[in-house]
Chains A and B, each alone.
Chain A
């Protein structure tokens, strides 16, 4: 166990150190969610005037919750890019040789993803507050939203790390990013689920991200819905993806 913690801490520290000292890595992960917040909350705010749009805190808050959870998921995705880069540069192979407990490598990268998201999440929250969003949820409910973000970040990181370890090339980028991006955008991003029409409504209804997003928006508005279900879904996804990431690590070990 001590060796696991030692490897986890070392990999996480390197991951967050690389992020903080390298603007080329840090800036996109901060700019992307900010720009989505600006584009959606600013450019599309008229959407809140369509009939039957009811979200009490307002459209900026409605979009903030999506962007907050999206930034969490993309914190995980960007970590997958870093893992792929480490394999291309040869660092990951040296790490595999040196680590006394290799599953600590996956845990370390995942912890790094969480710390990276703490920075992005804080910046997005400050931007939302500056933009004048209303916060109707109380402390415990907001902590619940943070918990959903942590879960999304963890699940996305495990997915991204798994793919990066299976493919071990930066060309895996689209494959890491695209499914997360599509799953997020196939949730009710712009209007609540009942206002979606056509095929997107059907897909959204079945998309687990929809439950998490609705729970997040409910917590933020002070009227929680589907909270237990969303945590259960995230926990199940994380458990499955942990197995996937572990298999990715085994594949990297076999490749040498």
Chain B
């Protein structure tokens, strides 16, 4: 009698298929990685005068901005994850998967595997670009590892959000339509200036209530400040909260989606 695969093995199998699928689509891989780098290259230089604003926390705007591509890349990961899950819903693959003995948790988390691998590749590329452009880490080698961990957690959290959107909306195209809204949350955060230096009071208020600010600030603290426990707690905390909430909401959404189709 054959042993039933463990949950981890089931997740691994679905994740392997998801990762292979993600890497087969070169365009989907290339553009999300390139776009944040272009913005980093342009804004890193074009906004360098911002360091002359009194009390700006660093002399290098590139170091200040390095967190930006990590979070923007994670947002692209969410679209990638959502689009691919949406396609699986549209083509009926998810329904066929539901006929197998796979557990729904394995289906859910495994489907995000491709996006997660994409997030890993992106994080390493952004880090290397940061080093190549002369960005140093105030927190040292340990900080680089923590930054990668936080970045992966953020990618996973956004991938889960993409998955939830796909399950709720049922199509990849609809998920793509949500992307501008995610992009807005990044620009309405402290991604380009520290919160205390934002002049418009309403903008500062929005940035303070925007969780994306804390994701950016957690990553940024390792680059320009060193070890800032509060920034890291908030960064990891918000990333974890986003992942937990979206996965918790995805489970009933998955049940409804499978029942509906």
- Do A and B make up one complex? yes
Instruction: Mark A residues whose CB is within 8 Å of B.
Output: 24, 28, 31-32, 35-36, 38-39, 42-47, 49-51, 171, 174, 178, 181-182, 185-186, 188-191, 195-201
Does B208 touch A at the CB level, under 8 Å? no
Q: Cα distance A189–B43 when bound, in Å?
A: 9
Q: Cα distance A20–B26 when bound, in Å?
A: 34
Q: Cα distance A42–B21 when bound, in Å?
A: 41
In the assembled complex, which residues on chain B have CB atoms less than 8 Å from the CB atom of A198? 45, 48
Does B53 touch A at the CB level, under 8 Å? yes
Complex contact B45–A28 (CB within 8 A): no
Complex contact A191–B187 (CB within 8 A): no
What's the tally of chain B residues with a CB closer than 8 Å to chain A? 30
Complex contact A200–B193 (CB within 8 A): no
In the assembled complex, which residues on chain A have CB atoms less than 8 Å from the CB atom of B184? 31, 35, 39
- 37-59 of chain B: CB within 8 A of chain A: 38-39, 42-43, 45-50, 52-53
Interface Cβ pair total, 8 Å cutoff? 89
> Which of B43, B53, B198 is within 8 Å of A50, CB to CB?
B53
In the assembled complex, which residues on chain A have CB atoms less than 8 Å from the CB atom of B199? 45-46, 49
Complex contact A46–B193 (CB within 8 A): yes
In the assembled complex, which residues on chain A have CB atoms less than 8 Å from the CB atom of B193? 43-44, 46
Which of the listed residues B46, B48, B180, B198 has the most CB atoms from chain A within 10 Å of its own CB?
Answer: B46
In the assembled complex, which residues on chain B have CB atoms less than 8 Å from the CB atom of A24? 177
| A133 to B: closest C-beta gap in Å | 13
Q: Cα distance A51–B52 when bound, in Å?
A: 8
| A217 to B: closest C-beta gap in Å | 16
In the assembled complex, which residues on chain A have CB atoms less than 8 Å from the CB atom of B198? 43, 46
| A150 to B: closest C-beta gap in Å | 25
